[in-house]
Structure 1
Amino acid sequence: MMPGETQNNDIWPIPAFYFKVAFHGAKNKSDTAFQEISGIGSQLDTDEVFEGGENRFSYHLPKAVKHTNVVFKRGIAELDSFLVKWCKTFFEGDFKSPLVPKDLSVHLLGEKGTVIRSWNFFQAYPVNWKVDGFHSTKNEVAIEEIELCYQYSNRVM
């Protein structure tokens, strides 16, 4: 633990199965229930620089931060869903209307439903939308996967 941090035994270890997603400006909150979220992460790109005359090592200088795309999985939603309508403007709209990115938050919840960790994603929009395969020999829920890229993110808690 870092100096000044306190460990709350009610939330340790943090569960990964209890979470919620909030699309800022979405009126239908029930439309943002997901089975799985993955891809939350950032990476610092570097430039490798070699010193003239010294061949034993190189310097790695920070260049830019890259963010991985965030992937959401859930059961296939109804056509009037906020998220489905928003994705359709990107994939089926022929770019006739302005494409509107959205801000969103992912909240990891504790046992009592309180937010214990939170990430914000700014100017997100869908870049991939697919449906998992169908199998006649399995009795499973049909799953859709929505992948979003975004301008930047931050961890709030």
Structure 2
Amino acid sequence: MASSNPIVGFHFSVIFELLPQFSIDTKFQSVGGLKGTLEMESVKEGGQNRFTHQLPIRSGYQDLVLKRGLTSDMSGVSMWCLNAIENFNFSPANLVVSLLNENGNPVKAWYVSHAIPLSIDYGDFNAEENKIVIESIALKYNFFKEIPIPSF
């Protein structure tokens, strides 16, 4: 049965339509950038000086940023990013970002289309701190859309 309670954002999954994919490739600490915006154009109406009309031109999407703790495990996503950055070899990938309930079932999901790597960043190394090294991957994508999840 569907719930009208707000959904928590700490239990989620990211699944790439990408091969090879290893177990580490679904484990991320955070996901950011599922944001759609409209670009607007200002139009001044002749004889009307009190305001300017704002007309929509096109939609745009923010970069998707995935973060996770760096491990020694092999990662297909990292290899995909490095192949694009080092060899200029781009293979666009689609992915699904899902918010999960307490049973691990999706309650909301978004399909991200035609993502390509923009950057891969490894957090700072500091001998004076005992912190986990964070790997950040930024992706540019064409669009995202919500995937309907049937409620039971």
Matched residue type, 1:66 = G
Cα offset, 1:28, TM superposition: 2.9
Instruction: Give the aligned partner of residue 108 of structure 2.
Output: 117
Cα offset, 1:78, TM superposition: 3.9
Give the match's secondary structure for 2:139. Answer: strand
1:133-155 CA-partner distances (Å, limit 9, x unpaired): 12222222111100001011111
| Separation in 2, partners of 1:104, 1:18 | 17
Where do 5+ consecutive residues of structure 1 fail to align? 1-5
Give the match's secondary structure for 1:112. Answer: coil
Question: How many residues end up aligned between the 2 structures?
Answer: 147
Give the match's secondary structure for 1:113. Answer: coil
Please state if 1:8 is matched with 2:3. Answer: yes
Tell me which stretches of 4 or more aligned residues in structure 1 moved more than 4 Å.
none
Q: Give 1:48-87 correspondences, 5 Å limit.
A: 48-78=42-72, 80-87=74-81
Instruction: Give the aligned partner of residue 18 of structure 1.
Output: 11
TM-score, normalising length: structure 1: 0.86
| Separation in 1, partners of 2:109, 2:19 | 18
1:22–1:29 contact (8 Å) kept in structure 2: no
Identity of aligned residues (%): 33
Please state if 1:28 is matched with 2:24. Answer: no
Give the match's secondary structure for 1:92. Answer: helix
Cα offset, 1:27, TM superposition: 4.7
1:51-79 CA-partner distances (Å, limit 9, x unpaired): 01110011111100010001000112447
1:119–1:153 contact (8 Å) kept in structure 2: yes
- Pick from 78, 98, 107 the counterpart of residue 107 of structure 1: 98
1:77–1:84 contact (8 Å) kept in structure 2: no
Where do 5+ consecutive residues of structure 2 fail to align? none
Instruction: Give the aligned partner of residue 126 of structure 2.
Output: 135
